[in-house]
Amino acid sequence: MGKSRVLVLGATGYIGKYIAKASAQLGHPTFILVRPATLDSSKKELLNSFTAAGITILHGDIGDKESIVAALKQVDVVISALGMPQLLDQLNLIKAIKEVGHIKRFLPSEFGTDVERVSKIKAIQSVFHPKVEIRNAIREAGIPYTFVSSNGFIAYCASFFFKENLQVPPSDKVTIFGDGNVKAIFVAEDDVGLATIKAIDDPRTLNKQLVIRPKTNILSLNEVVELFEKKIGHNLEKNYIPASVIRAQLDELPFPDVIFPAFAFSVFVNGDNLFELGPEDVQATELYPDLEFTTFSSALDTIV
């Protein structure tokens, strides 16, 4: 049997582009669904890079059943990396997958922490409720799935810790949430793409959650900052935001301003990344020992 044919939705988004390119890199016939408006947008260069990688661009929209069904008929596996505003649009996708009947794996838009184990914080729940609804709809429809818990993206997180422009080292200050000692998990975006694609044809990940937890990247914010200080050769001024201050923001800030403090509280105060694994969880590092996960330390070498 040949490689599964893969359709990626949300391929022009943050993590979607890594997934689409990993699919092509690992030899899968790869398709992306792009809205016509995107073709004339600032993402033209990205679309050209997809074409250069051998990825087929299909025109359509998740809200257009005809274009979705037409795309599904060309593939075996569907991966959604749609952003927050489109999460519930995946209900249309689930109906279409059920209708065509031959899709052998669906990976919905997740790529964070486990949405069913996260802290019961109102702001977090409002963000994650659509993802939980999609999980339930997939199970109810009997569609074969894999959920991906990929935790924090290294480059994306570093942009908050240090400097918005990742090509420039930080000045002399860094923000640390809580006491900085709570461990979190960080994964390079390229590695998220590769691990995700390795899972799509793997029977061990069928109807399971793939958890990406490189041991070298289970770090506290204090450890992350220490790594950076060693790279740049001097200490940074640390601005600690106490857990009590972040917790108060959860009650005071309006939506959507409350989202970032809620995630900071969840990950760096409650430690929601490091939940206990259960029988429905499989670890990428154990399944794919050949995949050399980028360490946080080596990722920082590209920034300094």
Per-residue pLDDT tens over the stretch 112-142: 889 998 877 777 787 789 999 999 999 999 9
CA distance 104 to 97: 10
Average pLDDT of the segment spanning 18-46: 90
Q: What is the mean pLDDT of residues 55-81?
A: 95
Q: Which of 17, 21, 131, 208 is catalytic?
A: 131
Mean pLDDT over 178-198 rounds to 96
- Architecture field, domain 6-151+189-212+275-288: 3-Layer(aba) Sandwich (3.40)
pTM for this model (two decimals): 0.92
**Tell me: the pLDDT tens digits for 156-182?**
877 666 654 444 445 677 888 999 999
Q: Are strands 183-187 and 218-220 parallel, antiparallel or unpaired?
A: antiparallel
- 131 counts as catalytic: yes
Give the tens place of pLDDT for each residue, 83-114: 988 999 999 999 999 999 999 999 999 998 89
* Residue ranges, CATH 3.40.50.720, the chain: 6-151+189-212+275-288
DSSP-derived letter for residue 166 is: T
Chain region(s) in the chain for CATH 3.90.25.10: 154-183+217-268
The superfamily CATH assigns to domain 154-183+217-268 is UDP-galactose 4-epimerase, domain 1 (3.90.25.10)
Phi, psi of 32 (to 5 degrees): -125, 145
**251-277 pLDDT tens trace:** 888 878 888 888 889 999 999 989 999
- The closest alpha carbon to 222, from 240, 205, 234, 207, belongs to 240
